Amino acid sequence: MKSIKILAPATVANIVCGFDILGLALNHPQDEMEMRCIDKPIITIHHTDDFNLPLVPEQNVAGAALLALINEYPNKNIGFELIINKIIKPGSGLGSSAASSAGAVAGANYLLNNYFGKTDLIRFAMNGEKVASGVKHADNIAPCIYGGVTLVRSTSNLDIIPLTAPPMYVTVVHPQIEVKTSDARQILRKEVLLKDAIQQWGNIAGLVAGFLQNDYELISRSLEDVIIEPIRSILIPGFDEIKKQCKEVGVIGGGISGSGPSVFMFSKDETTANLAEQIMKAIYNKIGINYYTYVTTINKDGVKITDC
C-alpha cells in the first residue's frame, strides 16, 4: 500500500483574547510524519524524535485521534503505520499535540480517499487534545487542518469558521521552561467578572473584524486579554518586558501562544519582526534562559500531504 509524507504546522491558539476559540497556523516549525494504511485493525506508532512520547495508541495523541477515525469508518479491517518526527517541541504552546493528531487524521483521510470532511477530522483530532490536556479544545486543531486563522464558534456542535487575515509576520520565542497545558488551565479562575467579560467580547469581536477588514490598527487595539493573560503571564519570565519593548519598536501586538510558555508578536513588515526577535533574544540572554526563536508568516494551507 502507498506511503505518504505529512507536514503538520505549529499553531498559535487563543490569539491573545480568544481563549479556546481563535487560532492560526504558522509556516514554521512543522512536524514531519510518514504514514501507510494496512489491512489489519492495528495502529503502530514510531517516534524518530527524542521526546519519549507514549507509543500505545490510546495514550498517544495521534493514536487516540486515529482510533476515533477508524471507529467511524465502515471497513473495520484497516489500520495505520505512522512514523512521527516531532519538530514542534511538546509543551511549547505551539500546538505540538494538535500537529500530531491533526496530521495523523488528515493523512489517514487522504489514504482513505477523503472519505471524511474537515469537520469530522477536527472532531477526531480533538480526542488527541483530550489525551494531552484533558480537554477537547479545537483552537489548535482547526487552524492546523484548515490553515490560516480560524474561529471555533462551538465545540459541542462543532462549528468552525475560517477567517481571512491581512499579511503579517509572526515572531515567536519559545523559552526552554516547561508549562503544561493542564497546569496552565488549572490555575485559571472558573468565574469572570461581567465587566471583564464585556471588555473581552469587545476585543474578540474587534480582532475578528480587524482580520476581515485588513485593519491593522483595529487588530492592534483588540490584542488585549483581561481574563487569561494576567494569570498565565506570571508563569513566563520576561513576558511583560517582551511586550513592552516589542510595542516600542512598532509590532502590531501579541501575547502568550496557546497556554505558553511561547510568546508571539505580529508585525506588518519583516524588519519589525526581526527587531522583535532581537528583543526576545536579548531578554532571555539577560535572564539566562535558553530559547528558540522563529520569524515566520501565517500558513494558509494547513496540513500538507505528498505521496512518497
Query: What is the Cα–Cα distance from 290 to 41, expressed in whole angstroms?
Result: 43
CB closer to ligand HSE out of 232 and 243: 232
HSE value, Cβ hemisphere, 13 Å, CA-based, for 5: 8
Q: Is 14 in the site for ligand HSE (CB under 6 A)?
A: yes
* Contact between 8 and 100 (Cβ < 8 Å): yes
Q: Is 139 in the site for ligand HSE (CB under 6 A)?
A: yes
- Span near ligand HSE by CB under 6 A; candidates 13-21, 147-155, 161-169, 296-304: 13-21
Residue 159, SS3 per DSSP = strand
Q: Is 101 in the site for ligand HSE (CB under 6 A)?
A: no
* Contact between 25 and 19 (Cβ < 8 Å): no
- Identify whether 306 is a catalytic site residue: no
- Span near ligand HSE by CB under 6 A; candidates 33-41, 67-75, 79-87, 180-188: 180-188
CB closer to ligand HSE out of 18 and 79: 18
Pairing of strands 79-85, 149-154: unpaired
Query: What is the Cα–Cα distance from 178 to 225, expressed in whole angstroms?
Result: 22
Sole binder of ligand HSE in the list 79, 91, 103, 258 (CB under 6 A)? 258
- Contacts with ligand HSE: how many residues (CB under 6 A)? 12
In the structure grid, which three cell numbers stand for residue 175, read together? 523559552
Q: How far is CA 94 from the centre of its chain?
A: 5
Which stretches within the chain are classed as H helix? 61-71, 96-111, 118-133, 141-146, 181-186, 194-212, 216-222, 229-232, 239-248, 270-287
- Identify whether 44 is a catalytic site residue: no
Q: Is 259 in the site for ligand HSE (CB under 6 A)?
A: yes
Question: What is each CA distance from 232 to 95, 228, 235, in whole angstroms?
Answer: 17, 6, 6
Catalytic residue among 11, 32, 129, 229: 129
- Span near ligand HSE by CB under 6 A; candidates 49-57, 101-109, 133-141, 235-243: 133-141
CB closer to ligand HSE out of 143 and 148: 143
- Span near ligand HSE by CB under 6 A; candidates 59-67, 68-76, 134-142, 203-211: 134-142
Q: Is 181 in the site for ligand HSE (CB under 6 A)?
A: yes
* Contact between 130 and 113 (Cβ < 8 Å): no
Pick out residues in 48-77 that bind ligand HSE (CB under 6 A). Answer: none
Residue 188 beta carbon to ligand HSE: minimum distance, rounded to whole angstroms: 8
Query: What is the Cα–Cα distance from 187 to 84, expressed in whole angstroms?
Result: 31
Q: Is 245 in the site for ligand HSE (CB under 6 A)?
A: no
Q: Is 47 in the site for ligand HSE (CB under 6 A)?
A: no
Binding site for ligand HSE (CB under 6 A): 13-14, 19-20, 137, 139-140, 181, 184-185, 258-259
Active site residues: 129, 181
